Amino acid sequence: MHFSIDSLIDSGIFEENIDLVNFKKDQLITFLKNMVLIRTAEYKIAKGREEGLIGGPVHLGVGQEAIAAGLSHFLKKDDYVFGAHRSHSHILALGGSVYKLFAEVLGKKTGFSKGRGGSMHLIDQENGFYGSVPIVAGTVSLAVGAALASKLKNSRNIAIAYLGDGACEEGVFHESLNLARINNLPIIFIVENNLFSSHMHISQRQPKSSTARFAYANDIEYKVVDGNNILHIADIASKYVDLSRQQKGPFFIEAITYRWFGHVDWREDIDVGIERSKEDIKLWRSRDPITRLKSSMINNNIWSNEEHFDLEREIKQMVNKYWEIALKDPFPEKQSLIEDVYSS
């Protein structure tokens, strides 16, 4: 199903209730649990940054949890997933360790990148996450390369390229789409279109608000979905993942969403002269992907407020435990600075 871009980018127009018909109860609970975990972890990171416990910048995706949680449900550990600079959700949705994420943003040697990468340099190959970088569109071509390797090996493994709407303005993005289509590669490009690239609204950067036109221009099958409705994402992700495993790719998903925080750290960026207001944020918060799924499950008598309270409490306790452990972990030794830089 295609959705009207105008309706999806208008924060006051959306379908409040979510149709649960195609999904089982255990799937819905998994979706809900993963989104709550991602959000709880990111709020903890935001607080840590605000309190000065995190030395480097953090790029938060609060409000966008449904995209990674909906897609990752259908992926395998031997797939190849590549993130961007806002990738906490990507790595956690794949089953990545909350503890290792906390340790990494805190600069501890127990982190994903041994404390030397921070928020924007994450990797967890055991769970299929092959890296995130601060360079806009920097991993898109790498995902295409992984998809090409998979096809040459006649493998059923697929590649995922996460990117934002701003990355669609980079030359390597267009080259990657072209190469993927020419070779019919098993890759899914998923654009998390939150309408902002850094501090600029998409209307100030592009002639149209949708990036799916680039897929159309390259003859790539695409869908535009409500990025705040996890079941819209899961429905199309399930189809595209299955087809990609049959070497019938590439595919392109544009998920329209909104980040509650600003470009970087815990601030909302409503006071720096950009097209972003308290009213916008309030309206987009009403489209909260977690609340929408929870409410629909309660309305269909397959979930309760009590169960949700218990879920949130359990996850918060776990998050707090891992945060405290990570805080006490050691920093990398100074002599380790050049480790993994030069070959032995």
Per-residue pLDDT of the chain (344 residues; tens, 9 = 90+): 445 666 676 666 665 678 898 899 999 999 999 999 999 999 999 999 999 999 989 999 999 999 999 999 999 999 999 999 999 999 999 999 999 999 999 999 999 999 999 999 999 999 999 999 999 889 999 999 999 999 999 999 999 999 988 888 889 999 999 999 999 999 999 999 987 777 767 666 776 778 889 999 999 999 999 999 999 999 999 999 999 999 998 999 999 998 888 777 787 766 655 667 788 788 888 889 999 999 999 999 999 999 999 999 999 999 999 999 999 999 999 888 788 777 76
> Whose structure tokens read 């079941």?
231
Q: Is residue 336 part of a domain?
A: no
Angstrom distance (rounded) from CA 154 to CA 54: 43
Q: Is residue 332 part of a domain?
A: no
Q: List phi, psi (to 5°) of 274.
A: -110, 170
Q: Where are the beta strands (DSSP E) in 107-198?
A: 159-164, 187-193, 196-197
Nearest to 154 by CA among 186, 127, 131, 130: 186
Q: Is residue 183 part of a domain?
A: yes
Q: List phi, psi (to 5°) of 290.
A: -70, -50
Distances (CA, A) of 105 to 42, 109, 144, 262: 11, 10, 28, 18
Domain that holds residue 219: 5-326
pLDDT score, position 13: 62
Give me the helices (H) in 194-288, please. 212-217, 230-245, 278-285
Sign of the Cα torsion 15, 9, 64, 82 reads positive
Residues 293-325 have pLDDT tens digits of: 999 999 999 999 999 999 999 999 999 999 999
Residues 117-169 have pLDDT tens digits of: 999 999 999 999 999 999 988 999 999 999 999 999 999 999 999 998 888 88
Q: What is the DSSP letter of 260?
A: S
- Residue pair 95/146 in contact (Cβ under 8 Å)? The answer is no
Distances (CA, A) of 333 to 37, 53, 191, 338, 339: 31, 19, 38, 11, 10
Which CATH number does the domain housing residue 133 bear? 3.40.50.970
Altogether, the residues listed in the chain come to a count of 344
Angstrom distance (rounded) from CA 251 to CA 26: 27
- Paired with 20 in beta bridges are none
Nearest to 289 by CA among 252, 265, 319, 257: 257
Q: pTM score > 0.85 for this model? A: yes
**Other CB atoms closer than 10 Å to residue 292's CB: what's the count?**
22
Q: Is residue 339 part of a domain?
A: no
Give 247's contacts (C-beta < 8 A, 6+ positions apart).
151, 184, 186
3-state secondary structure of 194: coil
Q: Which residues of 223-259 are buried (b: 16+ CB within 10 A; e: fewer)?
A: bbbbbbbbbbbbbbbbebbebbbebebbbbbbbbbbb
Residues 92-107 have pLDDT tens digits of: 999 999 999 999 999 9
Q: Is residue 334 part of a domain?
A: no
Strand bridging mode 196-197 / 200-201: antiparallel
Q: Is residue 255 part of a domain?
A: yes
- Residue pair 78/157 in contact (Cβ under 8 Å)? The answer is yes
- Residue pair 92/65 in contact (Cβ under 8 Å)? The answer is no
Angstrom distance (rounded) from CA 224 to CA 217: 15
> What is the domain count for the chain?
1
Q: Is residue 340 part of a domain?
A: no
> Whose structure tokens read 């329209």?
256
Q: Is residue 228 part of a domain?
A: yes
